[in-house]
Amino acid sequence: MEKKRWFVIIDALLLFFAAIPILTGIVLRVLFTPASEGIEITGALIFTTVKMPWGELPITEAQINSWLVILSVFWLCLYLTHGITAKGGSRRQYLCEWVVEKTESLVQENMGEYFSGFAPFIAAVMALSAFSSLLSLFGLFPPTSDLNIVAGWAILVFLLITFYKCKCGPLQYLKSFTEPVAFLTPLNVISEIATPVSMAFRHYGNILSGSIISVLIAAALGGLSSLLLGWLPGIFGEIPFLQIGLPAVLSVYFDVFSGFLQAFIFAMLTMLYVAGGFPAELYAKKQVKKSQKKIKIKK
């Protein structure tokens, strides 16, 4: 009995810790966002600016919110894996098993056996992207609509792509730019650089455009409402009745659907680019040669 009670208490604590970051974000938002008049489309709020060796580092809402997401996911992980047993049975165990198995099978299908260790990374990309976008449901600034955040992820993916392209040696990597014909080299370089740029801008643009469209439509509906229903007496004339309903439906699309979709697309592209850039056959040949050499040395 005592043990069971402790189990429940720890569960509740973990969930509470997972919820705290979100609440903190909301509190920060309420405290620091200045009351705005009319339509205003801006980037993230800057809390403070830190002096750094090269340039300045503004601590923005986007940064804070992405940290909050990471914290939340961390506590959620602890909650999900709390008390899992080989026997199974609890619902959260099914959930975390489902997550692990799904991501692993996805990675296996899209990247192959060699990259099976990529499952946690892909899960991290998906979780960070999706939860960041979903923060807008709480009225928080979604970090994914800040270019810097998404650019950071894209650059990490670019580093991974380059790392796996260099698996057969830097010379082989440089040589791969001259294929299939030498004069296409500049184009190849451009397309290489375009990969992270396009990934970053795709994600950022989709989420930001979603919020911009939402804001524009809400504003337009407010104007229409005051135009059509402004004749109502007293306070009724000031309530934007037309803003009820439609923005919620749009939010389901722009915040929820688009958030998940962009997370999935970003993860998918990561998998395809990393696995596609890896010269698998060449690498396999090299491994075979290496093992042969080893055998010779042993002999």
Place of tokens 């396009």: 198
By the rule CB under 8 A, 207 interacts with other proteins: no
CA gap 226, 270 in Å, rounded: 47
Q: How far is the CB of 266 from other proteins (least distance, A)?
A: 11
Identify which of 241, 222, 238 has the alpha carbon closest to the alpha carbon of residue 230.
Answer: 238
Task: Kindly identify the residues of this chain, within the stretch 224-243, that bind other proteins according to CB under 8 A.
Answer: none
Identify which of 132, 134, 119 has the alpha carbon closest to the alpha carbon of residue 255: 134
Orientation of helix 147-165 relative to helix 185-229, angle to 10°: 160
- Asked if 281 interacts with other proteins (CB under 8 A), we say no
Q: Is 30 a binder of other proteins (CB under 8 A)? A: no
**274 Cβ contact list (under 8 Å, min separation 6):** 111, 115, 118, 157, 160, 161, 164
When the beta carbons of 266 and 278 are compared against other proteins, the nearer one is 266
Of 155 and 229, CB closest to other proteins: 155
Look at residues 113, 112, 107, 83 and name the one whose alpha carbon lies nearest to residue 95.
83
**By CB under 8 A, is residue 251 in contact with other proteins?**
no
Task: Note whether 219 binds other proteins by CB under 8 A.
Answer: no
Task: List residues bridging with 60 in a β-sheet.
Answer: 46
User: Smallest distance from the beta carbon of 262 to other proteins, in angstroms?
Assistant: 15
| 3-class DSSP string for 61-107 | HHHHHHHHHHHHHHHHHHHHCCCCCCCCCCHHHHHHHHHHHHHHHHH
Task: Tell me if 198 contacts other proteins by CB under 8 A.
Answer: no
- Looking at the Cβ atoms of 6 and 47, the one nearer to other proteins is 47
Half-sphere exposure of 172 (CA within 13 A, CB side): 16
Whole-number Cα distances in Å, 89 to 11, 12, 15, 94, 185: 16, 19, 20, 8, 57
Single out the residue of 135, 208, 218, 274 in contact with other proteins (rule: CB under 8 A). Answer: 208
Q: Which of 13, 147, 268, 280 binds other proteins (CB under 8 A)?
A: 147
The verdict on whether omega for the bond into residue 196 sits within 30 degrees of 0, i.e. cis, is: no
273 binds other proteins (CB under 8 A): no
- Report in angstroms how near the CB of residue 46 gets to other proteins at its nearest: 5
Of residues 60-99, those binding other proteins (CB under 8 A): 60, 62-63, 66-67, 70, 73-74, 77-78, 80-81, 84-88, 96-97, 99
- Rounded least distance, CB 90 to other proteins, Å: 12
Task: Please give the residue ranges that form the binding site for other proteins (CB under 8 A).
Answer: 32-34, 41-47, 52, 54-58, 60, 62-63, 66-67, 70, 73-74, 77-78, 80-81, 84-88, 96-97, 99-100, 119-121, 123-125, 127-128, 146-153, 155-156, 208
